[in-house]
Structure 1
Amino acid sequence: MTLAPQKYGSPVSLVLMGSLVIAVMVIATAGEFELIGREWAKRGVGAALALLLLVVGNYWPKLFIPVDARRANPGPVLAAERFAATILVIAGLAALAVWVWWPATQMMAVAGAIVLAGFGLTAANWVRVILTGGAAAQSAASGLLASQPRLTVLMLMHALFWVAVIFFADSVWGDAVSRWLTVPFLLLNGGLGLLYSRRLNRQRPAK
């Protein structure tokens, strides 16, 4: 098969992602200090995160293909990436609509469920590809993870997944449970960051 040339993704997408992360922090801080209403703070944070999910989904397939992945015939794995990106874009659009128009009493549960369903579909498809593709698919997937931008995207998606979990838990069980969920999120995200850092360090050529 013919692979697309290597790309690092659009700088516009990177700027958008950074801007949305900053927007989330600003809106959350404004809500915490009661500069804006609690409902508007939730809607603003949720809408910004939904847009971030949409941008990540659009950015992901445009990332470059590492040499190791090219050697492993990554067609099925790249198809899984495109499927995942499409699902994330759809989930982001649907969640954005919920944060903008849905009644305040239900918006966190509905938006959280939509995003979690999107991640569930994505994960199920990845499992299918890896199991049916055998060693070739595993080698290609491992090769794709040699890309630092991809690892960054995966870290960001992991964070968005946990945000959806926290939103859903908050709407169903209340603040007490959702606050405790930040502990495993921080531990897991920190662990992933450490693993990715070690992986990238091993892949760098010795000087």
Structure 2
Amino acid sequence: MFVYLFGFTGTPIFAQNANGIETKQSVFGEQLHTYSIIHAIRDKNVLPFRVAYISTIKQKEDIEDKKVYAINKDELLLSNERIQKIVSYILEHFDVQTKRDKIYTSKDKSMKGFNSLFATFSIEAAIAYYKEFKRQNECLEKHKQLKIGLIYSFGANEEARADIDGVGIDEENSDETIGLEKSQRDF
């Protein structure tokens, strides 16, 4: 008798970020098939979406890229001036990008515009952007203001695994906050 196991995952854990836990490949072997978000949109299993990517850091072409010990990339990416400008740009272009002035019908319900999602590289960045969005949003006319929320979690793909008082976080989508830093839990 043969037993076949098939593993399905939306968030694969790869060797470079496994942090001591088993990867999907080590449990199930080689990947048989990939079903990407592009396939899901094509098959109408998810709502389509559009990514708007605006590069904020430009490098001259004739510069040789070298690793420099003293450069703190996070410090640059989290600078208040940069965050203020990005939030200002987003708020200025939000209506056009989300088609806020257009009405469409879905399942006999009229709706105006689309929702949007802003993803950051870390929880620290998400909190900084959230605070700046709230600050700038308050300065807008009432009809231009956005509803702003923040969601973050601690998952298996985080750089540091939680092990506080011997309790590890194994469920990636857990609502448990023990794996978060105290300042992140408090926020």
- Give the structure-2-normalised TM-score: 0.25
Greater helix share, 1 or 2? 1
Greater strand share, 1 or 2? 2
Q: Which has the larger radius of gyration?
A: 2
- Give the structure-1-normalised TM-score: 0.23
Task: Flag the structure with more relative contact order, 1 or 2, with Cα contacts below 8 A and sequence separation at least 6.
Answer: 1
